C-alpha cells in the first residue's frame, strides 16, 4: 500500500445531532479536514459529488480552496458524474484548480450512479443521442474531456480578436500540463475497468460493484483490478497506472469509537440492486481493535492489489473526530499493511 487518503461524501443536515448542519458547514469543514489530514501525514483528500442532494456538488471551488490551503496532499474526487458535465467548461475549471494546487489534482470521473431525482442530467440540458443510454452519454462526455485535456488546438481563431492570439488553432485555457495522466475512472463492472485501461485512465473501485460472479466482494474487486492491469499492459501505455479502492475502516481505540462503530452489523457483504436490472454487491465495513483490523485487512485481496486506499469518513461527526479516525489508521494499522 503506497498511499492512504480519505473520502468524504459531504453530507449535511439541519439535525441537531449533526456537526454539519448546512452546505457552508460541509464546505468549510472539508477544507479543514484536508488541512488536518495533510498535517497527520495522509496522502489524499477525496470528495464524492452528488446533485440534487444535501451533499457536495460542483467540486472545483472546493478543490481550488483546498489547493490554496495545503502544500503536499493529493486532492481529488471519487467521483464526478459525467452525465451532468460540459466537458469544455470542465476542462477550464479543472485546469484552474490544478494550477492553484500546483499539479496535485487526482480527478475521479464516472458514468454516474442512481441520483436523487429521475434523469437529473436532463435538467442540466443533456440528453442521450438516439439509440444511446445515459451511461453511453457519460462515457462520451468523458472521452471528449480526455481529448481536450491533451491541450491541442482545435478552435479557429477570430481574424479580428480583441487580444493578440498565438499562432495556429486555439485550445482551452488555462491548460495544466500533466492533468490528463491524473484522471481516474470509477468502474462498477469489469468491462468498464477494461475500457478505462484502454483509454489510459487510472482506476477507482469503490465499496460497491456489479455482482458478476457471486463471490465475496473483495475477491471480485481484486479480479477487476487484475483485468484492468492486463488491459493496460495490452494497450501499451508508457506509464504505470494507479488503482484505488475505498473502505470503511474504524479502529476502536476508546469509548466514543465503540459507541459509534463497535456494535457490529456491517461485517458482511450485502447484496442489492442499484437499478431495476443491476445486481450489486456492497463491501463490508471494518471496525475492531487495531491488531484485529490488521489481520482482517491482510485478508482483503483487493487492498493488496491496489496502490491507494481511500478511507470513507463519517463527515457529519465533525473535523476533530474524523481527524482522529484518520490518525488512528495511519499510526496503528497502516504501517503493518506496508504503508511507508
Length of the chain: 340
CA dihedral angle for residue 8, residue 101, residue 64, residue 195, rounded to 10 degrees: -60
Q: Residues 130-181: pLDDT tens digits? A: 999 999 999 999 999 999 999 999 999 999 999 999 999 999 999 999 999 9
Q: Residues 86-130: pLDDT tens digits? A: 999 999 999 999 999 999 999 999 998 888 999 999 999 999 999
Stated pTM of the model? 0.95
Supply angle C-alpha 186, 189, 195, rounded to 5.
70
Phi-psi region of 103 (alpha: psi -120 to 50; beta: other; left: phi over 0): left
Q: How many Cα atoms sit within 13 Å of 275 on the Cβ side?
A: 13
What is the distance between the alpha carbons of residues 255 and 187, in angstroms, rounded to a whole number?
37
276 pLDDT more than 80 = no
Amino acid at each position: 500500500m503506497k498511499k492512504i487518503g480519505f473520502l468524504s461524501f459531504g453530507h449535511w443536515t439541519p439535525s441537531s445531532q449533526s456537526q454539519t448542519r448546512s452546505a457552508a458547514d460541509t464546505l468549510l469543514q472539508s477544507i479543514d479536514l484536508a488541512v488536518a489530514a495533510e498535517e497527520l501525514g495522509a496522502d489524499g483528500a477525496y470528495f464524492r459529488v452528488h446533485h440534487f442532494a444535501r451533499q457536495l456538488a460542483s467540486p472545483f471551488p472546493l478543490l481550488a480552496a483546498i489547493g490554496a490551503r495545503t502544500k503536499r496532499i493529493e486532492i481529488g474526487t471519487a467521483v464526478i458524474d459525467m452525465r451532468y458535465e460540459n466537458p469544455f467548461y470542465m476542462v477550464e475549471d479543472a485546469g484552474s484548480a490544478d494550477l492553484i494546487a500546483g499539479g496535485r489534482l487526482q480527478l475521479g470521473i464516472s458514468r454516474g450512479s442512481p441520483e436523487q431525482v429521475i434523469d437529473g442530467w436532463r435538467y442540466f440540458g443533456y440528453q442521450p443521442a438516439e439509440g444511446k443510454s445515459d451511461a453511453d452519454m457519460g462515457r462520451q462526455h468523458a472521452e471528449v474531456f480526455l481529448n481536450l485535456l491533451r491541450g491541442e488546438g482545435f478552435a479557429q481563431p477570430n481574424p479580428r480578436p480583441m487580444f493578440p492570439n498565438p499562432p495556429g488553432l486555439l485550445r482551452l485555457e488555462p491548460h495544466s500540463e500533466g492533468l490528463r495522466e491524473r484522471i481516474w475512472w470509477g468502474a462498477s463492472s469489469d468491462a468498464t475497468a477494461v475500457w478505462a485501461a484502454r483509454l489510459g485512465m487510472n482506476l477507482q473501485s469503490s465499496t460497491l460493484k456489479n455482482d458478476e460472479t457471486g463471490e465475496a466482494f473483495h475477491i471480485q474487486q481484486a479480479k477487476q483490478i487484475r483485468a484492468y492491469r492486463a488491459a493496460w499492459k495490452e494497450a501499451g501505455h508508457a506509464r504505470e497506472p494507479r488503482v484505488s479502492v475505498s473502505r470503511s475502516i474504524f479502529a476502536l481505540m476508546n469509548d466514543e469509537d465503540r459507541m459509534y462503530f463497535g456494535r457490529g452489523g456491517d461485517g458482511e457483504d450485502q447484496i442489492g440492486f442499484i437499478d431495476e436490472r443491476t445486481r450489486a454487491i456492497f463491501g463490508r465495513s471494518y471496525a475492531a481493535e487495531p491488531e484485529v483490523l490488521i489481520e482482517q485487512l491482510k485478508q482483503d485481496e483487493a487492498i493488496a492489489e491496489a496502490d491507494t486506499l481511500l478511507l470513507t469518513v463519517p463527515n457529519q461527526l465533525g473535523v476533530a473526530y474524523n481527524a482522529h479516525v484518520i490518525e488512528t489508521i495511519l499510526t496503528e494499522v497502516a504501517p503493518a499493511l506496508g504503508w511507508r
